[in-house]
Amino acid sequence: MILTIYTATTMIIIAYLLGSIPSAVWIGKKYYGIDIREYGSKNAGTTNMLRVLGKRAAAPVFALDFLKGFVAVTIVELMQYDDLIGANDLINLKIGAVFAAVLGHIFPIFAGFRGGKGVATLVGAVTGIYPPVALLCFGVWLVVLMIFHYVSLASMVAGCCFPIFTLISPKVNGSTSFVVFSFVIAILLIYTHRKNIERLKAGTESKIYIWKPRRIKVDGAAPSGPQSPVSHTPGKATANETAAPASEPNREKTQQAQKN
């Protein structure tokens, strides 16, 4: 019994330490020479990296944040080999690992306890518990983002759909702890996005376009055929311009000769 408690506690601590890996902070400092927490929304997360540094910086941050949440929950599966741990106990331990990983992301011990909102880590952790619900939430998030272009709004809507998908999923709706967990997560996402809600109301929230529409200029018509570029210096005549005046005297002499 003591060994079981010790192992479970160790798993939760490992989950917190994994969540504390500040991928956005480390990548920003290592490859871009900035602390991402000093720019944009001042959050160490995927969305702020996308706004400030672009897709190439945001992609690895999302992947690492997702992965650390997934691993934090997956390692708890090792507890199933303990005879004292039942199915419900295992789910409860996984839920504890989710909270520990997200808490680590929000308050990372490796980055002065200043992190992000933990959405990517949360998605990875929930995927480790029950992937179908996580995929459904991701689908809602993507649809809302493509329509309205607000990451914060997409995250909140997807979070509010999480308990709904949990209740209609026969594999997890029988677990009271997981149902309560889904509602707590929805409330937590709304709470952590309260500043975003204020900006949405004020119309000052930044939009994110994953695929920007291609703009085609139609103001001026393109030249009909290929033309060789001619350099023209202001104040100096071109070769054609200087040749025309030079031929005028010859033309006058020809006309006088014809009259004579």
The confidence score (pLDDT) of residue 213 equals 57
* pLDDT of the residue at 132: 94
Q: What is the pLDDT of residue 204?
A: 92
pLDDT in tens, 243-259: 444 444 455 544 554 54
Neighbours of 250 (CB within 10 A): 8
> For the chain, which ranges sit under pLDDT 70?
211-260
Quote the pLDDT of residue 239: 41
Q: Give pLDDT, residue 161.
A: 96
pLDDT for position 206? 87
pLDDT by residue (tens digit) across 129-151?
999 999 999 999 999 999 999 99
